[in-house]
Structure 1
Amino acid sequence: MQIANEEQAEYWGKSPSGAKWLTYEDQLDQLMAPVLDLVLERAGLKPGMRVLDIGCGTGASAIAAAHSVGPEGHVLAADVSQPFLDRASARASDAGSQNITFQFADAQTYAFEAADRDTMISRFGVMFFEDTVAAFTNMTRALKPGGTMTFAAWGPLPGNPWFRMPHIAASERLGTPPKVDRNAPGPLAFHDRERVTGLLEKAGLSNIRADSVYLMLDFQGSLLDCAALCTRVGPAARVVTHFDGKPEDVTAIQHAVAEAFHPFAKNGAVHIPADINLFQARRPE
């Protein structure tokens, strides 16, 4: 199979950084549950539908979608990380979800069966393509005429303290890493709704809608536990890796993040505001 996004496949499938998403799967799924709920609600899945799940990760989205479409429906769940797919398959088996096929695939180039799917969904799985227009053109071919896609991406950095505050804490401790193009493949690549809308138009999609949705990411645990997760995955982790941070640096960063997140803590949990970009589009009839 042709892989256009080799760097992303290497990161998510083989690097220690990507492997952390397996280690902290439960915490991350719980934290991101409101985003998945948002995608599924807007997608309007119904029994019997055939769904394409892009960037399915360790399976939370595919299993939820499979439950919504029922045994008459089907979910094709694609990802570039085989370890993620192996874990997702095991979780689906444990959940009794037999109407899912997990596929190792680069959605930019994979030969999906044409006009086979009623809808495409993705929770944070489509911001990493080397050629976004080519990727969405390819995914659109998998949709039936009139088929829809619904996907969530991170909005602008100022509205997302989950990214901004840990990055500030790590940079103040270790230094500022080299700046990168925020539109380059990565978690924040779809922060600009107008730019992404233009890319979807170039990919041949219509009825494009882009909404900014404010919600809360709920971490069930202490401030320090939440801060520890922030230093293991996400921007703080990347800064620590870049500067080869020592254990004492990690501890200092965790305490700084906990202090920054203090206003979000209540009743034994941390409620972090988030600005999510929700996109919807349709393959023309």
Structure 2
Amino acid sequence: MATTGTEKFSLLSVVFDEMAKNYENGIGGAQKDIVRALLSHSKENYPINSTSIIHDNACGPAVATSEILNQGITPPPQIFATDYAQGMIDITNSYKERRAWDTVTVQQMDGQALSFEDEKFTHSISSLGVFLFPDEKKGLSEMYRTLKPGGWIGVSSWKDVRWPTAAIAAYEKLFPDAKEPMILPVPKNWMDPENCERNLLQAGFREVKSEIIHCINRQENKEIGASAFAGFLRQVSPTVKAWDEETREEYMAYYSKLVEDMFSPSADGSGVELTLYAIVTSGRK
């Protein structure tokens, strides 16, 4: 029996529940760089203000919500932060309580079947979210439905997150006679600006633009950076999951060394860093 989109999303949410507490450290602040680039698109085309009603869709650990509120808009705008993974919701709720986010509503919700009414939001943001949905077309359709006419959408995806290159290199080195390629969750139709623009245009959005940006994964040392990527790979690759423990550990040790070699010392001497490349895409309804 085929796995449905909802079932796939449930499986994915379990992965992100496990990762939630380490998510921010895993990409070392790169998500903040991406969100700031998205918000610069909004500032140019449809600035956020006190009357804005914003959806932080697939919010993760509320990076977009945090960056919006850090802009110091007074009074702050209304933000609805949603995610399918309970782990991410728990983190966002903890921030809401500790940081007194009185204008933020936090809800567990499937981005492919939002419970919001039509034309609710002035701004709809999904940073490193909708491109991973089992049915990203449905996710974009729901963002379109819940956005007010003239409203602004901003989404992001990875151009090159670097770790897949190391994963494949390690696989080819250790298993040169493998008959099957390594299975990785790489959504190829979101990895170049033209495809990203096409995705939004096909969903009905207009004035769409897309650009590649660089963002920095900053870590205390190479080992911590490699450990974060290794933990992610263990969770998301069916190939890695299918191995016995001895094979998995041999592979992960070699893979981690390749990832360590990708990091370089930070210019300010505070640790190490790795440049990643993301795509930010925006448009209007």
Correspondence for 1:43: 42
The range that moved more, 23-32 or 91-100, is: 23-32
1:10 lines up with 2:11 in the alignment: yes
Correspondence for 2:144: 140
Correspondence for 1:243: 243
Correspondence for 2:259: 257
Distance 2:119 2:221 in 1: 47
Structure 1 residue 227 displacement after superposition = 1.2
1:128 lines up with 2:128 in the alignment: no
Q: Counterpart of 1:39 in 2: which secondary structure?
A: helix
Structure 1 residue 218 displacement after superposition = 3.0
Structure 1 alignment gaps of length 5 or more: none
Structure 2 alignment gaps of length 5 or more: none
Structure 1 residue 87 displacement after superposition = 1.8
One-letter identity of the residue aligned with 1:265: P
Q: How has the CA–CA distance of structure 1 residues 249 and 198 changed in structure 2, closer, same or farther, with 3 Å as cutoff?
A: closer
Correspondence for 2:199: 199
Distance 1:268 1:73 in 2: 35
Distance 2:52 2:17 in 1: 32
Structure 1 residue 74 displacement after superposition = 0.6
Q: Counterpart of 1:98 in 2: which secondary structure?
A: coil
Contact kept? 1:166, 1:236, Cα under 8 Å:
no
One-letter identity of the residue aligned with 2:37: L
Structure 1 residue 113 displacement after superposition = 1.9
One-letter identity of the residue aligned with 1:270: V
Structure 1 residue 126 displacement after superposition = 0.9
1:161 lines up with 2:125 in the alignment: no
Correspondence for 1:151: 155
Q: How has the CA–CA distance of structure 1 residues 194 and 252 changed in structure 2, closer, same or farther, with 3 Å as cutoff?
A: closer
Structure 1 residue 170 displacement after superposition = 5.0
Correspondence for 2:78: 74
One-letter identity of the residue aligned with 1:271: E
Correspondence for 1:279: 281
Structure 1 residue 89 displacement after superposition = 0.6
The range that moved more, 161-170 or 101-110, is: 161-170
Distance 1:62 1:211 in 2: 22
Contact kept? 1:20, 1:232, Cα under 8 Å:
no
Structure 1 residue 206 displacement after superposition = 0.7
Aligned residues, how many? Answer: 269
Q: Aligned residues: percent identity?
A: 18
Correspondence for 2:68: 65
Q: How has the CA–CA distance of structure 1 residues 210 and 222 changed in structure 2, closer, same or farther, with 3 Å as cutoff?
A: same
TM-score computed with the length of structure 1 as normaliser: 0.82
Correspondence for 1:86: 90
Q: How has the CA–CA distance of structure 1 residues 113 and 34 changed in structure 2, closer, same or farther, with 3 Å as cutoff?
A: same
Distance 1:203 1:277 in 2: 18
Contact kept? 1:231, 1:237, Cα under 8 Å:
no
Q: How has the CA–CA distance of structure 1 residues 190 and 113 changed in structure 2, closer, same or farther, with 3 Å as cutoff?
A: same
1:200-235 Cα deviation digits (max 9, x unpaired): 22221111111122x231323111221111111148
1:134-166 Cα deviation digits (max 9, x unpaired): 3212211211111011111111x4xx4243224
Structure 1 residue 282 displacement after superposition = 0.5
Distance 2:170 2:265 in 1: 18
